[in-house]
A and B are shown apart, each in its own frame.
Chain A
Amino acid sequence: MEVEQLQRSFLEYIAALFREGFLDGQFSQLQLLQDESNPDFVVEVVSLFFEDSERLLNDLTKALDQQNVDFKRIDAHVHQLKGSSSSIGAHRVKNACITFRNFCDERNVEACLRCLQEVKQEYLLAKTKLEALFRLEQQIVAAGGAIPILDEFS
């Protein structure tokens, strides 16, 4: 049956995301927070994350492009990105931020540029995967099914 297939695909997909470290337990927490009164909570929060992250990444790019790099500012941005990515469970993005911050401390522009690239890449990956996940969800709902929750990782 289509719904079941969709649900299975969904579960497999999300399980893989957890396995590969794209998502962690915090994402499950978000899923658990979602309820009938806020049926789109996860999508909402993740969308907020996307918006905010893109802004931060832009700011970071600009900041690293300056003559005199303001490392404090960069650190603040990265810190925030770390906070928000950890809050939604974007595990790899968070890790990339941690690495980034370390190089910030060293005030190493080159290394920071590399880190920024890394963070951007992880971010894009996470975004792609989450969007695919949400699409699957939509398909399930459209087919009349319920979105299964994988809670082994919470």
Chain B
Amino acid sequence: MSLEVKPMFSSSSLKSGDGFSDQFPVGLRVLVVDDDPTCLRIMEKMLGNCLYEVTKCNCAELALQYLRDNKNGVDVVISDVHMPDMDGFKLLEQVGLEMDLPVIMMSADDSKDVVMKGVTHGACDYLIKPVRMEAIKNIWQHVVRKKKHEGKDKDFVNSGGVEDEDQKQKVFEDGDYSSSANEGNSNSRKRKVEEDDDAEERDDVSTHKKPRVVWTSELHVKFMNAVDKLGIEKAVPKKILELMNVPALSRENVASHLQVEQFFHHNRRVDSITRFMGPPNAAFGNASAFNGVDIQGLAAARQLQQQNLAAIQAAALGRASTKVSVSLPSHDNRNIFNFENPRLNNDNKQIDLLHGIPTTMDPKQLASLRQSASTFGHMNMHVPSPAVQNNPSMNQMLQQSRIQGLNGQSLNAAINSNHVSNLPANVVQSVLSTAIPSTVLGRNGIGNVQGPVYTSSSVPSSGVGLITEFPSNSFSFLSNSGTPAVTSKGMFQNMKSEIRGPRALVPSHGAFNELNMNMIQDWGMQNAGLTFESPLRSNMGVLGISPSTLVQQGFSSNSKNVQGQSKSPIVNSSLSENPLRNEDERIPNTGFENGLFPEQYIQEDDLMTALLKQQDGTGHVEGEFGFGGFHLDTLPQ
């Protein structure tokens, strides 16, 4: 599969619309937690081979801390079930509650009870050890799914050009699709009425630019409640709309959503999949085609005749039923209300059916998780300084260094940069606020930030540039670790994929792809005794942190209690605890920013190209689904 080579920061409407970069899932930020070093290393390598950005951790507590300190710095968590310091399920719950990230459990234990426990606790997936590459390749789906249901609580998402027929997203929103779908389904008079309405409205829609509605989990819940109340027979868009009582919602929105439910829900594939209208590249097209429906084909479906659509649906159902373990009822208008899966299909519980693990999540549990998660989400968003959000990667790095520094040991070079051990949160925040890419700003602790963090030359130049004020920093980013490995990505990656972050600052993935994975990412795996002791000016700039960082407990292979050894009270401090002091830090740092960008861009392109070339060679999700989706033109008519 060939990926379109694009400069990292070009924005395509699709990209901004669905929130994922063109490169996705390249650069997916994974935190893997396992107390078994062998497995951890293998996971790291496998994830790395998928071009994900890996952080490994052998201690659940540390992992939680890491997640807390790096809000939005991680996309998905993979955790072992049996761990000495904390039960994997507990971690799962915590992550679900606090960060609402997709969590994948893994274990050598394949007994049904344990797997069931994973599912009921909300795991997105459960991998049986030994984990194989195929399983790893698919994990990005959970991120997408979750993100789509995350309740970006925006009601309207403008992704440019309402009537752009090529935009797949549009298929499921607006009246367009619904009208054609209506044609395909019309049986009852009710449908006919709607059909007429929709036909009219479609004209309106096509002429007027309408903001698109994103069916968030909240909206969907309201929708389902309304539908329930009305009953199958009476659940017409108009009435549903009334019951939902969402001012921003229009009847067409509801109508099209109804069609979506109808079309896709047969497969127990909740909005998650249908919502996911990935970027145009084929992998995503296929990725979303879980139920065997080619998304692009769906877009085309709008233009199809009624018969074609019916054929598609039938075929989709046929496909779906073979793929999915659920026996699908025959397709008719009522099916939408027949699903066995919980209403709250905001599926982080939608475990990848390809794994054959049933996904049944207690809707209440989900609801409560979701609510608490969203509360948390809100809290977390507001409490720390905005800067924090903008620079998740920096947070991440800083946190990493904090955690690292807890023992006062300097880990090896790469980890050194993480040793912002005594950094008070405010410094971190201020650093972040300046949006300096991926260099850890150390105020107090970063005395001797030495050691190479990155192998790739491109990284250092951008990173090093910032670090001018770090006298003691011998950032020899170039390590000897040989050729860069693709996999681990540094914070740059984070920033890049972070929607809110100042994208411009982030060097391309490519930069990190080039970084040698061997470059340490294991905190503590090598005792590099780095301690950031000397007070540093806050405008130090952020150090490049090795792409894959090992957040390990004690930094020596046997110690299990990092927090106990903490030198600084950072362990529990979240960025939110300290007041922000942006002003001081920001100004001097801006200079860095300006100077850096041009370099970064240049490097990025090269790296991107290299990265993409590499990517071409690696496997894709495309082939993972077992079927390439079906295309409309192959359907019998």
Chain A: residues with CB nearer than 8 A to chain B?
A: 26, 29-30, 32-33, 35-39, 41, 44-45, 48-49, 51-52, 55, 76, 79-80, 82-84, 86-89
Q: How far is the CA of A37 from the CA of B485 in the complex (A)?
A: 5
Report A-chain residues with C-beta under 8 Å of the C-beta of B517. 37-38
Q: List 25 A-B contacts (CB under 8 A).
A: A26-B130, A26-B132, A29-B130, A29-B132, A30-B42, A32-B133, A35-B49, A37-B482, A37-B484, A37-B485, A37-B516, A38-B517, A48-B38, A48-B41, A51-B37, A52-B37, A52-B38, A55-B558, A79-B109, A83-B36, A83-B107, A83-B108, A87-B39, A87-B129, A88-B38
Count A-B contacts at CB 8 Å.
77
Q: How far is the CA of A32 from the CA of B109 in the complex (A)?
A: 25
Select B130's contact among A35, A39, A89, beta carbons within 8 Å. Answer: A89
Chain A, Cβ-Cβ closest to B483: A37
Minimum C-beta distance from B481 to chain A (A): 9
Chain A binding surface SS class: helix
Minimum C-beta distance from A71 to chain B (A): 15
Q: Contact check, B46 vs A33: say whether CB atoms are below 8 A apart.
A: yes
Q: Apart from A38-B518, A84-B36, A87-B42, what 4 extra A-B contacts exist at CB < 8 Å? A: A48-B37, A52-B38, A55-B558, A82-B108
Report B-chain residues with C-beta under 8 Å of the C-beta of A86. 108, 129-130
Report B-chain residues with C-beta under 8 Å of the C-beta of A84. 36-39
Minimum C-beta distance from A130 to chain B (A): 13
Minimum C-beta distance from A112 to chain B (A): 18
Asked if B581 is an interface residue, CB under 8 A from chain A, the answer is no
Chain B, Cβ-Cβ closest to A75: B82
Minimum C-beta distance from B107 to chain A (A): 7
Report B-chain residues with C-beta under 8 Å of the C-beta of A38. 45, 485, 517-518
Chain A, Cβ-Cβ closest to B518: A38
Minimum C-beta distance from A100 to chain B (A): 13
Report B-chain residues with C-beta under 8 Å of the C-beta of A32. 133
Q: How far is the CA of A79 from the CA of B518 in the complex (A)?
A: 28
Q: Contact check, B39 vs A33: say whether CB atoms are below 8 A apart.
A: no
Asked if B84 is an interface residue, CB under 8 A from chain A, the answer is yes
Chain A, Cβ-Cβ closest to B516: A37
Q: How far is the CA of A45 from the CA of B37 in the complex (A)?
A: 9
Contact pattern, B 93-133, Cβ under 8 Å of A = 1, otherwise 0:
00000000000000111000000000000000000011111
Report A-chain residues with C-beta under 8 Å of the C-beta of B46. 33
Report A-chain residues with C-beta under 8 Å of the C-beta of B42. 30, 33, 45, 87-88
Contact pattern, B 129-160, Cβ under 8 Å of A = 1, otherwise 0:
11111000000000000000000000000000
